[in-house]
Structures are given as C-alpha cells and as structure tokens.
Structure 1
C-alpha cells in the first residue's frame, strides 16, 4: 500500500498538471520519462525521487514545496461536504473534473460577473446549510 505522503504528492502533481491543462504525455515529455511513469507518480504507486520532483516542479512552474502543502490538514477527518473541521477544503475536491472546470470558467469571466457569481454561490451555500 502506498505511503500517505506519496499519495499526497501524487495528488498535488495531478492537481497542478490538470489545472494547467497539461496532459500526462506533455508532462512526461518535458521531464524526459514515459507517461506511464507520470500515472504511477500520480497514483502514489511509485515514489518520486528528489531530483525528479525538482524537474517536475520546474515543468509545472511551482516550487517543490507545492507538493507538500496541505499534508497535515489531509490527515484530519473530513466532514461529508469535503471540508475539514476548520473550514479548509479537502485537497481531494480539487481533483474532480467538475471543480477544475468550474475554476477555469470562473477565471475566464471579467471581474464584475466573477464577483456576482461568487456572491450567488455564497448565497446558495448559505441557503443549503
């Protein structure tokens, strides 16, 4: 069974790659490995060496520390809605295609409609609580 840290790093890798709209093949080409290896890293099946993580971080334009952010929060119990007790959203939520699509659409809006959409979402969330 994969170690929790390897799973977390793989999830953060997948999240960043997906957010950039980058395929596994494109990332693999940038790093100089086969795309199957990226799949194994993302699933936590294979551990990423320090030097490889550094190269991946450069290809994804993030610091190496990005892959470890939120690690301690992930170990806490989650509420049913995907939030931690302290209101922090669980990292798994950001791996869903729907979430990524929503974030991309949101940032493609101009500032005024984006603010209105955010206000609407907050109102709906409050009404559902």
Structure 2
C-alpha cells in the first residue's frame, strides 16, 4: 500500500508542530488518548489521521486544523520546492526543527535582531 502524499504532508506538519513546541510523541499521545506508536505512524504517513483525531491533535498542539494542510498545492500535492540551497523536505530535518524551536525560545526583541543578522549573512554568502 502506497502512502498518499497528503497523509505524509499532514504527518510532517504534526511532527513539525510537536517539535516546535517541544512536545514528545508520548506527551502528544497522552494528550490525545492514544499510544505513542500511533503518533509515529501518523507522522510518517503510514496511517491516515481521521478528521476527529486530527481535531484532537490540533487542539493538543494549539493550532487550527488548517495548519496541517498549509503548503499543499491545490489540496492534492505537497509543495516541496523551497529553494536551491534547502532540502526539499525541511520538516523532516531534525536540525532545522531544533533550530526553529530554539529560535522561538529567544525573546522577541533579540529574535528580531537575530533574524536581521541571518538575513545579512545570507545576502553576503
């Protein structure tokens, strides 16, 4: 059985949000009332997430259900064209997700300065 691209995309968005807010698979599973192995299957796209379960996951992660579908082109295929220097599957990159989580842990004023610095450095490269 082939994984559907939308199921894979939704799973990646679950993992992305979970990592961003520093929640483990076990913690999310506990919040939703399922086993962590099921979260693993959702995150890989191995199992399709039902509408009611996605509703529960969205609530547990503090996002609207629509969050999980962001980045889909025409509601059918994930848009993985992110640029020549970035991996097409940035949400699967553990280092990128950890950087994102740490970035949002920085106070807003400092975060803005860091963002500006990163922009200057990327323009200089």
With normalisation by structure 2, the TM-score equals 0.82
Structure of higher RCO (CA pairs closer than 8 Å, 6+ residues apart)? 2
Alignment of 1:1-129 (within 5 A): 1-72=2-73, 74-75=78-79, 77-82=81-86, 92-128=89-125
Q: For residues 48 and 18 of structure 1, what CA distance do their matches in structure 2 show?
A: 18
Instruction: Supply the distance in 2 between the matched residues of 1:64 and 1:100 (Cα, whole angstroms).
Output: 20
Unaligned runs of 5+ in 2: none
After TM superposition, give the deviation of residue 70 of structure 1 in Å: 0.9
Deviation at 1:76, TM superposition (A): 5.7
Q: Secondary structure at the match of 1:101?
A: helix
Q: TM-score, normalised by structure 1?
A: 0.80
Looking at structure 2, the residues matched to 109 and 15 of structure 1 have their Cα atoms a distance apart, in angstroms, of 18
Gaps of 5+ in 1: 84-89
Distance (whole Å) between structure 1 residues aligned to residue 83 and residue 70 of structure 2: 20
